[in-house]
Structures are given as C-alpha cells and as structure tokens.
Amino acid sequence: MSRIIAVANQKGGVGKTTTAINLAASLAATKRRVLLIDLDAQGNATMGVGVDKYKLAKTTRDVLLEKARPADVILFLPNLGFSVMPANSDMTEAEIKLRDVAAGDFALKLALEQVAADYDYIFLDCPPALSKLTVNAFVAADGVLIPMQCEYYALEGLTALVDTIEKIRRVINPRLEIEGLLRTMYDPRNNLANDVSAQLLEHFGDKVYRTMVPRNVRLAEAPSHGLPVIGYDPLSSGAKAYLALAGEVLRRHDGGQLPLG
C-alpha cells in the first residue's frame, strides 16, 4: 500500500524541499517505487531533480484543475530512479482557482487515487505557507513530515502547523498524523539548537527522528546540479544523513532495511 507523506513547514528555508528530494532519492535507492510531487510555485523540487521548470508542457497545476491526468504529467527520471510531478509559477493559478471550487480541498486526493497503487511512497513538497495547496496535501496525505531548524522561532511556527494538522485530521482526514519531525541544519555545538532539540524530544517523543541532518556544503550544492546529494556526493555527511532517515522511515512502516553495500 502506498504511503503518502506531505513534507511541510510554513517557515521557509528549513530544508523542506531538500528533504523531499533527498528522502525520495534515498528510498528509490532501496528499490522502492517513489513519486515526488512539487506543489510549490517556486518549482524548486522540480529544478532540484534536473527538470527545467521553464520548459514544461504540463504541470501539477493541470492535474489539480482537471486539465490533465496524473499519468500525462508525471516524469520518470531514470538517472535518479524515481518519478516527479513537476511544477512552476503556474501553481499560483491553481492556488487561486481552487478557492472557488466546492471540493477544492480534495483535488489532489482525487487525482492521486488514479496513481497511488503504482508507488510505495509519494512525497508532497508543500509551499512554505499554510495555503490552499498545503491543505490539499494534508487532505491527501497519510502523514506530515516536518523539517525544522532548532532555533527560537521554530517552536512558535510549529504550534500553528500542528494545530492545522489536528484540525484537518478532526474535520476532513481522520488518518492524517504527524509522520515525524526532522532536525535540519543541525549544529551540536550550538547551545540553543541543543535546547530546542531537547524540547522537541520532550513534547513529541518518538515522533522526532533520531537522524539529524547537519549543515553540509555538498547538500547545499547538489540542487544547482539537478541532483539529490546521494547522486552528487554519496560520501558526504548530508547523503549519509538522508540514507539514515530513509532507513528510519522504512523501519517505521514496513520493517524494511536498507540494502547492505
């Protein structure tokens, strides 16, 4: 059964798209069937996997507005081993038009019903806002993975995000849960980071992934080459962190292990 995971945080610059791309790539490396869906008008996930967002005939926008079937928009990336449903600035149109549609919150859920059986994991890269597109992701998803930096303002934003997840779980999508919290750009030498990390563990317990993604130059460079970090520098600390995260995700859901060697 497919596991649909929204990668979300209304605060930008926390490693959301980096996490969506690299977790997708790491799970694909374990021979799982993976689809990455770009829901952000910035199209960063699209560009980050080597697809030119300026040359797209169809995007996620067309799927949400029922102008195209998912199968007509999804691109398989043989060099990366997973598929992407790309996006660009056209997503702004979807954001606006879905507000005027009676079942606008369910557009993505209905679309994914056509293709979900073809994948083991589907990742939804959400915009950095609690927008109509993010709500669509939460309605369609089984869980929400929250990347966050361990800094002062992160906890305040986390409260609003958790409240939104709980509201959608209660009113629309009873299966929605917090998939996990991922500490990104983590520097163990920073006392504030350690304090915030301790608070996360106190409040969320085993929902906090053991994996912590460090600040890593190679991880930051990889998107400019259109590659996940395991394709750009597989020996880097960033690549090792996301492979470890993939192992945690697999163990939580199917007892799976990363292949040796």
What does the pLDDT read at residue 259?
47
Tell me, rounded to whole angstroms, the distance of Cα 105 from its chain centroid.
18
Mean pLDDT rounded to a whole number for the chain: 94
pLDDT (average), residues 206-215 = 95
Count how many residues are written for the chain: 261
Taking only the tens place, the pLDDT of each residue in 98-139 is 999 889 999 999 999 999 999 999 999 999 988 999 999 999
What percentage of the chain exceeds 70 in pLDDT?
A: 97
What does the pLDDT read at residue 47?
98
Distance, CA of 155 to CA of 14 (rounded, Å): 13
Taking only the tens place, the pLDDT of each residue in 5-23 is 999 998 888 999 999 999 9
What does the pLDDT read at residue 1?
81
Its pTM stands at: 0.95
Taking only the tens place, the pLDDT of each residue in 38-80 is 999 999 999 999 999 999 999 999 999 999 999 999 999 999 9
What does the pLDDT read at residue 260?
39
Distance, CA of 84 to CA of 66 (rounded, Å): 18
Complete domains list, the chain, with CATH = 3-253 (3.40.50.300)
Highest mean pLDDT among 184-193, 224-233, 245-254: 224-233
What percentage of the chain exceeds 90 in pLDDT?
A: 84
Say which residues have a Cβ less than 8 Å from residue 215's Cβ, sequence separation at least 6. Answer: 185, 186, 187
For the cut 80, the answer to whether the pLDDT of residue 196 exceeds it is yes
What does the pLDDT read at residue 255?
63
**Would you say 178 and 165 are in contact if contact means Cβ atoms under 8 Å apart?**
yes
Instruction: Give the confidence band of 150 by pLDDT, cuts at 50, 70, 90.
Output: confident
**Would you say 5 and 255 are in contact if contact means Cβ atoms under 8 Å apart?**
no
**Would you say 8 and 16 are in contact if contact means Cβ atoms under 8 Å apart?**
yes
